[in-house]
Structure 1
């Protein structure tokens, strides 16, 4: 495609002294592989018959093209139809895709669960989407870096710590050894629910949770690992990250290159905001805010009146940390679509600080996983649908001869059920449909793949020669070559 565009642009410059950027379309196969109406576009400027212009371009291309082009035709009032050689068409399928993003550094930030909470279906969906995007970009030649940014500080952690302290009947870290390994994640989750409920219903508890929140930031500032509450915090924090890593491994996704806990981005986020008070941020009632109304957005707090960073400041901090670590050309962050307006504010603020860095940011939003009852999830209320519950339910619905095969089929069922749907909207998930061996399902594709592999194993393997393409084979290769256009 690049070669065709450059050749046609050169033709227009040499023949007509005009600079153009050709636009190509995919015509019906009988008319060729690519088509352009560039002659019709030039007709007005040159005050000439578009078909005559097309004939001149045809002659130029035929006299100056290499092995790439098999045939050039003029059609209708002045369309140029170009047919590629079979060899080039095959090359577009076998090698061109790996060149699309060659030497590009792409950082993907996704999944991003908060420590002290269990992974829910939103994390499951986002992890599958992020992992798949990473594989697609890698197949296009990009260098991929996977980042996981989550909250190990903040009010949600303080609520959980209050709940843990309440369950333990005090700041008694030695009692943590009584929690079985396999029950750690749900145990922490239930403690969070207890703390969240107390925060809303008990003023005394709310005050205590605010104090714990301040204390947790202090654990990082002073490197406190010895006080009883700090011991509980660091132990349960480690439990959370171990749980995350085990989950990703069981999900058979690529490992993350780096975890960015919010505690590690606090200082850089605070510093960046404070450095830009005046030109970008404003002080308001002791807090530091970004006035988004000027950009068609809303005002958000970046530093609270108590001097603590909000999620917004921490997000700026992780952006700085990630670009320092990987010097990426493009950063893609995946979140729920309820964060869309929030991300616009963060990117708007970043754009006022560093326009070039802001232009490298892309936000992809995803919808909610909905089940038969149509309910959403809320870990605050304790009625969250855990990611592991979805996987277990699908696994139980799969009929397989071994646990290993059951695992492969159930993962394929869940992943494809998520991936086949339009990104951005809510997803209606049906367990029975996801494991069906008929229709548009993961197990059906796995079965078809297994059958194809069996046929290939029984056949004679030979090198594929583009010169030997039959018409139906060329049609298939032509369709596959459209991958580079997507």
Structure 2
């Protein structure tokens, strides 16, 4: 709305003889309870107008009505000047800005950003927490791409360590050679099954050793299973052929299982990194940090960094035996990623239990003067809870991602059939619709909440066709398409004399879409998109109920409303697409 701020600059110069910049003007969207579309805060102008905020607002409002064609009227509420733009302005906006295919599409901004998400362990299937992680990461990547960034979607797979060896050892002892093919069990679930078996058998050994007189700590260290797992890890690090072969085989099962889950979730990656290739990285950075005086060595040979002046504490970065800690390899991996892609920003999508870790990591990289260190961002998110008793997890501790998705599709089937929304659908179309609605419900429910907040996910509530849900928006889109499929909207401007209030409101909200994309990109929050699309769907339904489209008073008005409906469908589809959600053409 540059033309408004330009006019206000001229008004202030003419009325009060004072030069101001456009950036000095606080221009806001008018609150819903007041008339108008744009609001200017007049308090800052009183120092040179020498008048009350209300009188100043009246002066500027009268100037705008007299001198700006598109300003139709104004009102002043205390220190707020509410501006009503002319219907002609909003019609021009619809035809020149909103309806063209370029709407909501930003030119490349020359910046590259990496979004790293998922980061699974290869000893068990993905769970509910991974679902929020994957959906957040994928959606943020989509939003940043829409905002003009070149985006690299990365996945750092935790494919080594003692937890992997636990599954491998349990399979060796109790697996009897079974495979995903011989059992019909998905690969990641099969490996996860043996991780659980290891845990159960390990606990039995601990209890036996405690019964024999050992303390709990002694028993945990002395149990034969954990000693065997530690030996297997040592052999893996030494490159033992048999251990490496089993590791590759079982990880292969897991990757195949993960691929199926990612496909069902509708997420993908451009680049994979594996901890087995990165866990030795970072030691050269330790030497560099010692030379620069960023790190210091203690008497036992361990290397530390003192961050107490930054409000943190002392942090170990290399053990006395020369082995890495997590932060060591994370420094090395950050360097590797930057060397590979030279990105301007790097976003880590990781749960809030790692907040401290990333504060330390980013601070260390900044103190080392590493290229790209100032572009690092931890997209921290809260846990997801389920109402107790809603779902039983396969292992009894965490909710499995595949189980949850299957339940969502089943819930969508039951709710859709209850409401009779599949009349005339073939079986194949029904299955596709159930999946579209079920996954849309899951994704929207998890993404509509600010990432930082912990949330309670209720599968039944999420599939409510009348609530603040994905299915409500999907149904709105299908409703619009059913109208448009009956009569084609003309691809040319039609002239109407006056807009109804709800028509103007719809254009105003549609026009905000590019601004909403930029806001969501700047804050790395899909919730901004989700809530915008929900508000748009609500407003369209109000328009649909108040104003007949196909039975409009004349052909010109009918065509205009068809075009307005088409614009609404386009923005709903694009907005939901940024969340990774499909919208059905009919239901």
Check whether the contact 2:442–2:462 (CA below 8 A) recurs between aligned residues: yes
Task: Tell me if 1:271 matches 2:284.
Answer: yes
Corresponding residue number in structure 2 for 1:258: 271
Report SS of the residue matched to 2:332.
helix
Report SS of the residue matched to 1:415.
helix
Check whether the contact 1:72–1:80 (CA below 8 A) recurs between aligned residues: no
Work out the CA distance in 1 between the residues paired with 2:13 and 2:169.
Answer: 72
Q: Any gaps of 5 or more consecutive residues in structure 1? A: none
Q: Any gaps of 5 or more consecutive residues in structure 2? A: 207-219, 418-426, 520-587
Cα deviation, residue 237, structure 1: 1.8
Corresponding residue number in structure 2 for 1:368: 383
Which of residues 192, 195, 216 is equivalent to 1:192?
A: 195
Work out the CA distance in 1 between the residues paired with 2:494 and 2:113.
Answer: 33
Corresponding residue number in structure 1 for 2:119: 112
Task: Tell me if 1:322 matches 2:342.
Answer: no
Task: Tell me if 1:157 matches 2:176.
Answer: no
Which of residues 436, 441, 444 is equivalent to 2:472?
A: 444
Task: Tell me if 1:341 matches 2:359.
Answer: no
Check whether the contact 1:8–1:57 (CA below 8 A) recurs between aligned residues: no
1:26-105 paired onto structure 2 within 5 Å: 26-28=29-31, 32-37=36-41, 40-44=43-47, 46=48, 48-49=50-51, 70=71, 75=76, 85-86=89-90, 89-90=93-94, 93=98, 95=102, 97-99=104-106, 102-105=109-112
Check whether the contact 2:90–2:508 (CA below 8 A) recurs between aligned residues: no
Work out the CA distance in 2 between the residues paired with 1:331 and 1:236.
Answer: 31
Work out the CA distance in 2 between the residues paired with 1:179 and 1:465.
Answer: 64
What is the aligned residue count?
469
Cα deviation, residue 246, structure 1: 1.7
Cα deviation, residue 228, structure 1: 0.9
Cα deviation, residue 120, structure 1: 0.8
Check whether the contact 1:36–1:81 (CA below 8 A) recurs between aligned residues: yes
Task: Tell me if 1:470 matches 2:477.
Answer: no
Cα deviation, residue 73, structure 1: 6.1
Report SS of the residue matched to 2:269.
coil
Check whether the contact 1:58–1:74 (CA below 8 A) recurs between aligned residues: no
The TM-score with structure 2 as length reference comes to: 0.68
- Pair 1:21–1:368, CA change in 2 (3 A): same
Work out the CA distance in 2 between the residues paired with 1:53 and 1:378.
Answer: 61
Report SS of the residue matched to 1:98.
coil
1:202-217 paired onto structure 2 within 5 Å: 203=222, 204-217=224-237
Cα deviation, residue 175, structure 1: 6.8
Report SS of the residue matched to 1:153.
coil
After superposition, the C-alpha distances for 1:390-434 in whole angstroms (9 at most, x for unaligned) are 112223332365433332232122222222334222222223223
More off after superposition, 186-195 vs 175-184: 175-184
Cα deviation, residue 32, structure 1: 4.2
Work out the CA distance in 1 between the residues paired with 2:107 and 2:27.
Answer: 17
Work out the CA distance in 1 between the residues paired with 2:197 and 2:352.
Answer: 27
Report SS of the residue matched to 1:359.
helix
1:411-430 paired onto structure 2 within 5 Å: 411-430=439-458
Work out the CA distance in 2 between the residues paired with 1:382 and 1:302.
Answer: 36
Report SS of the residue matched to 2:279.
helix
- Pair 1:47–1:87, CA change in 2 (3 A): closer
Cα deviation, residue 249, structure 1: 0.9
- Pair 1:194–1:2, CA change in 2 (3 A): farther
Corresponding residue number in structure 2 for 1:403: 431
Task: Tell me if 1:233 matches 2:247.
Answer: yes
Report SS of the residue matched to 1:156.
helix
After superposition, the C-alpha distances for 1:234-266 in whole angstroms (9 at most, x for unaligned) are 11122222221221112223x210111122333
- Pair 1:180–1:43, CA change in 2 (3 A): same
- Pair 1:406–1:475, CA change in 2 (3 A): closer
Report SS of the residue matched to 1:36.
strand
**Root-mean-square deviation over aligned CA pairs:** 3.9
- Pair 1:332–1:374, CA change in 2 (3 A): farther
- Pair 1:86–1:445, CA change in 2 (3 A): closer
Cα deviation, residue 445, structure 1: 3.1
1:126-205 paired onto structure 2 within 5 Å: 126-168=133-175, 180=183, 182-196=185-199, 198=202, 201=220, 203=222, 204-205=224-225
Report SS of the residue matched to 1:124.
helix
Work out the CA distance in 2 between the residues paired with 1:346 and 1:466.
Answer: 58
After superposition, the C-alpha distances for 1:263-283 in whole angstroms (9 at most, x for unaligned) are 233344332233213533333
Task: Tell me if 1:25 matches 2:28.
Answer: yes
Corresponding residue number in structure 2 for 1:291: 306
- Pair 1:240–1:420, CA change in 2 (3 A): same
Work out the CA distance in 2 between the residues paired with 1:47 and 1:448.
Answer: 49
Cα deviation, residue 119, structure 1: 0.6
- Pair 1:177–1:329, CA change in 2 (3 A): closer
Work out the CA distance in 2 between the residues paired with 1:439 and 1:31.
Answer: 28
Check whether the contact 2:188–2:255 (CA below 8 A) recurs between aligned residues: no
Report SS of the residue matched to 1:372.
coil
Work out the CA distance in 2 between the residues paired with 1:474 and 1:12.
Answer: 29
More off after superposition, 265-274 vs 450-459: 265-274
Work out the CA distance in 1 between the residues paired with 2:307 and 2:199.
Answer: 30
Task: Tell me if 1:311 matches 2:340.
Answer: no
- Pair 1:138–1:347, CA change in 2 (3 A): same
Task: Tell me if 1:301 matches 2:316.
Answer: yes
